[in-house]
Amino acid sequence: MKLFKVWALILLIAVLTVGCANTEKSGSEAKETKEVKEVKETNNYEGLTVKLGVQGSGGLWGKAREEKWFEDEFGQFGVKVEWAEFQSGPPMTEAIASNHLDFAGLGNMPIIAAQAADIPFKVISQLLEGKNNVAIITPTNSALKTIDDLKGKKIAVAKGSNAYNFLYRGLAESGIKDSDVEIIQLQPDEAQPAFESGGVDAWATWDPYITLNTLTGKAKVLTDGEQLGVLSPSFQIVRKEFAEKYPELVTLYLKVFEKTRLWEEQNLDEALNRYATERKVPVEVIKGTQVRSKIINIPVSDEIIAEQQKTADFQYEIGNIRKKINVSEVFDNQYVKEALK
Q: Show the 3-state SS of 259-328.
A: HHHHHHHHCHHHHHHHHHHHHCCCHHHHHHHHHHCCCCCECCCHHHHHHHHHHHHHHHHCCCCCCCCCHH
- Do 159 and 124 sit in the same domain of this protein? no
Do residues 253 and 298 both lie within one domain?
A: yes
Q: What is the pLDDT of residue 238?
A: 98
Q: Are strands 134-139 and 219-224 parallel, antiparallel or unpaired?
A: antiparallel
For the entire predicted model, the pTM comes to: 0.79
pLDDT for 162 equals 86
Domain count of the chain?
2
CA distances to 54, 69, 277, 279 from 59, rounded to whole Å, are: 10, 15, 10, 9
Q: For residue 62, is it within any domain?
A: yes
Residues 176, 63: one domain?
Answer: no
Q: Is residue 153 part of a domain?
A: yes
Question: Considering 228, 256, 272, which residue would you say is the last residue of a domain?
Answer: 228
Claim to verify: residue 125 and residue 237 sit in the same structural domain: yes
User: Phi first, then psi: what are they for 319, rounded to 5°?
Assistant: 85, 15
Give the CATH number, domain containing residue 102. 3.40.190.10
Domain range for residue 187? 134-228
Report yes or no: 173 and 231 within 8 Å, Cβ to Cβ. no
Do 251 and 319 lie in one domain? The reply is yes
Task: Tell me, yes or no, whether 125 and 239 share the same domain.
Answer: yes
318 and 242 in a common domain: yes
Provide the angle, in degrees to the nearest 10, between the axes of the packed helices 247-266 and 59-67.
Answer: 110
pLDDT of residue 32: 47
Residue 9: what pLDDT? 40
Q: φ, ψ for residue 222 (rounded to 5)?
A: -75, -45
- For residue 166, which of 232, 105, 211 has the smallest C-alpha distance? 232
The answer to the question of residue 34 being in a domain is no
pLDDT for the residue 42: 66
Boundary (domain end) residue, out of 186, 201, 228:
228
Please tell me whether residues 184 and 275 are part of one structural domain.
no
Quick check: is 154 in a domain? yes
**Taking the chain (341 residues) in consecutive chunks of 10 residues, what is each chunk's mean pLDDT?**
40 40 42 55 86 91 96 97 92 96 94 96 96 95 96 94 90 91 95 97 93 91 92 95 97 98 96 91 86 93 95 92 96 98 92
- The answer to whether residue 6 sits within a structural domain is no
How is residue 250 annotated by DSSP? H
If asked whether residues 117 and 246 sit together in one domain, one would say yes
Residue 232 one-letter amino acid: S
Start-to-end CA distance of the chain, whole Å, equals 55
The conformation of residue 130, written as its DSSP 8-state character, comes to -
| Domain boundary residue, one of 228, 244, 259 | 228
Separation CA 290–CA 267 (nearest Å) = 13
Kindly report the CA angle at 65 between 206 and 240, in degrees rounded to 5?
A: 70
For 269-281, b where at least 16 C-beta lie within 10 A, e where not — what string?
Answer: eebbebbbeebeb
Beta strands in 71-185 (DSSP E): 80-86, 103-107, 121-128, 134-139, 154-157, 182-185
Does one domain contain both 117 and 242? yes
Residue 216: the pLDDT is: 87
Q: What is the pLDDT of residue 41?
A: 59
Q: Name the β-bridge partners of 219.
A: 139
Examine the domain organization and report whether 201 and 238 are in the same domain: no
pLDDT at 126: 98
Q: Are residues 332 and 239 in the same domain?
A: yes
Handedness of CA 264, 269, 131, 219 (dihedral sign): negative
Determine, yes or no, domain membership for 294.
Answer: yes
Note whether 188 and 148 are within 8 A (CB): no
Residue 4 lies in a domain: no
User: Is residue 36 domain-resident?
Assistant: no
